[in-house]
Structure formats: structure tokens, C-alpha cells
Amino acid sequence: MKDFTKLDNLINRFVDQGTNPGCAVAIMQGDEMIYHGEAGYSNIEEGKKIDVHSMFSQASTTKLFTYAILAMIYEEGEFLFSDPLYYYLPEWKDTQKYVVRPNGQVDVEPLEKPITIRDAVDMMCGLPYCMVPSANPTTPTLAAMSREMAELLKKGPSTIAEEVHVMANVPVMFEPGSHWQYGFGSEITGVLVETFTGKPLRQVFKERIIEPLGLKDADTLVNDGNRDKIVTTYFKKDGQFKSAPGFSVAEEGSVPVGARPNLLISAHDFAVFMQMLANGGTYKGEKFLGAGTVAMLHENHLGDAQMADFTNDYLAGYGYGFGFRTLLTQKYGHNGHLGNFGWTGGSGIWVEADPTDKFAVAYMHNMAPNDELYHHHRVRAVVNGIML
């Protein structure tokens, strides 16, 4: 039996010292949940404590479900990652790029090659995020995306298919594949899943992952069945927590069925999903993905030029594959195995799988700013110290 006292102490210290309002951690190995710990509050005002069923807003860790499902569809022979995007989304056939001259002049030119599915999934398609129009766009591409989004939102809440359709009009930031730019590639990936399945992405989440894995505390919308489980997001300022009810979550019926899904899930249930990947695509005897396909998802796909774009203190030591970052070196202070893989969510989520010792960890809090480097790297250090 492993001793998780240090991990218990850490998450309780986070809450006691006021670094976050409440958090949860779950660890699986093999097919067993070997630890779950909770500290603090899901709703401070109501005095409601976080428990094993508490569902956290995921933000960007939502897309890990999307990438895993796309890999399942890849194994069904529906597409190749080398396929041009326009094979399946015809409006992307004549996409162009912006070129900024040394004198500051901005021109539009044809692409040297079409955007491929790999470019989109690897975040190398040249489109940043633009969920709402930017007030101060920093690039011609973001300015053009903001104009498209502003026009689209005049009609009300949009679907991701509508967003992907209009963004095909926008010249990208660079030649596809030449740089790494976190952003709109995940929306394109989601619409590819919808195109291949003929169903809204949130429905595919349920049919391909949530129900088959038996995830009881996972959904993409707030409803009467899960409302009491949803963790409130808090804004932190000057050491004080101010609640933001409804932040990053949507009520059932308030958005179109095809709107961008934001996963709401417990640390326990996300750990199950990550454990399936740590096991090489199998969970409790059921095969979801081939081991080679899982390895393909988290192999580093970045060369020197792209690695220069994929750099900050939080990402130090990692490379990037099809939606998953993967550990390349321990020299920046990661005490886990090389090849560990996962991702992070902007609301305070960190998940990682160890394919060597076949375990997975999910840590969650919901707070802005999320202080992810402070929390996640400490949890990572303690968990690996216990597990290895």
C-alpha cells in the first residue's frame, strides 16, 4: 500500500493557506482507483464541501475527449491525418495566409500547401483562439477572425460548425505546419468528428466515452440531475475569492445542441479516462484504442521551429502531439517518467498518464487566475514521489 499522506497534506495546505478555494485529486493504476482526495469548498457561500462526485469545469482539457474520439474514427479508416482538410470541409480548399513584410506591409498570399488534418490537430494550422471578438487583436489573422465572429454572434449563440465554416474565410498566420499556435485547431478537430459521425460533438462524447467508460459524474451541460455537483468558479483577487456563478458552464437548453461543449467532470471520472490511455487504450477488458494509436497521440510532433513556439515555465520539458503534451526531459524539474502525457485546462485542471507504470492522475480546482504552475507542479512532484 502506498502512503498518500503527503498528498493529503498538500491539498489541505492549498486550502488552508488560501491558494485555492477547493480542489480534488484522483489517482488510478491498472483498472483500480487507488486514491482520491478532496479539500475545501465547491461553494463557499453555501458551505458546500468538495467530494468525490464534484464536477469541475474543464475548459481546454475537454478537447482530450475530442482527440481520443478522432483517433477511434481514424482506426475505422474514415480518414488519414495527411488528408487535406478540404476533403471533408470543402470551404477550406482556398484558404490563404497573411504575410507581413519587413516594412510592415501586410499582404495576402495563397498557401504553398493545403491545411491537413494533422496541421489542425497538432495546432499548426495558423489560427489562434477567437471565441469572442478581440478588442485589441495582435495579428491580422486575429483581427479577421474577430470580424467573422462578431458577424456570426449577431445571430445569437453559434455552433462550432458555424464558427469553423466562417473562419475558412480568414487568412492564417503562417504556412501550415511551419509553426505551433495554440487555438482554433481544436474547433476544427471537433467539427471533423461531427462530420464523420453525423452527430453533435457533445452527443459523441456520451456515446463514445462517457457511457462506455461508465462515467457517472460527467456531462457537457448543467441540468437538474447534476446541478448540485457543479463546482463554482471563483475569481481570486488580493487573497479573496469572489464567486462567478455560471462562469464557463452552460445550462441545458441555453445554447444550440451543436455549441462548443465544455466538459463538466469529476477528478475521479477524468482519471478513469486517462487510465484507459495509460493502459494503452484498454479499460477493464474493453478496448477503446490500439496501443499504437495511443502512442501516436502523445508522441512529440514538434521540430525545432515549433518547439520554439511551445515554450514557457509551465510547459518546460514537454513536447506536443495530437492534443497531448508529452514529457521529453526531466531537466526542468519533472520527476516522472519520460513519455508521461496529458494536458491542462484553463480553469485549473491538470491530468497526466504514466504509460510506464500504468497510472493516471487528475487534479482539479476552478479558479481565475488559475495559478496552474504553483499548484500543478507541486501536485506532480508529490504524486510522482509517491508512485515511483
| Per-residue confidence in pLDDT tens, the chain, 388 aa | 899 999 999 999 999 999 999 999 999 999 999 999 999 999 999 999 999 999 999 999 999 999 999 999 999 999 999 999 999 999 999 999 999 888 889 999 999 999 999 999 999 999 999 989 998 999 999 999 999 999 999 999 999 999 999 999 999 999 999 999 999 999 999 999 999 999 999 999 999 999 999 999 999 999 999 999 999 999 998 889 999 866 778 899 889 999 999 999 999 999 999 999 999 999 999 999 999 999 999 999 999 999 999 999 999 999 999 999 999 999 999 999 999 999 999 999 999 999 999 999 999 999 999 999 999 999 999 999 999 9
Q: Which residues pair with 287 in a beta bridge?
A: 282
Torsions phi, psi of 269, nearest 5?
Answer: -70, -35
- Residue 232 gets which letter from DSSP? P
Residue 75 host element (H or E):
helix 63-75
Q: Say if strands 234-237 and 367-368 run parallel, antiparallel, or are unpaired.
A: parallel
* 276/369 Cα distance (integer angstroms): 30
Instruction: State pTM to two decimals.
Output: 0.96
- Residue 151 to residues 139, 190, 386, Cα–Cα distance (Å): 19, 22, 52
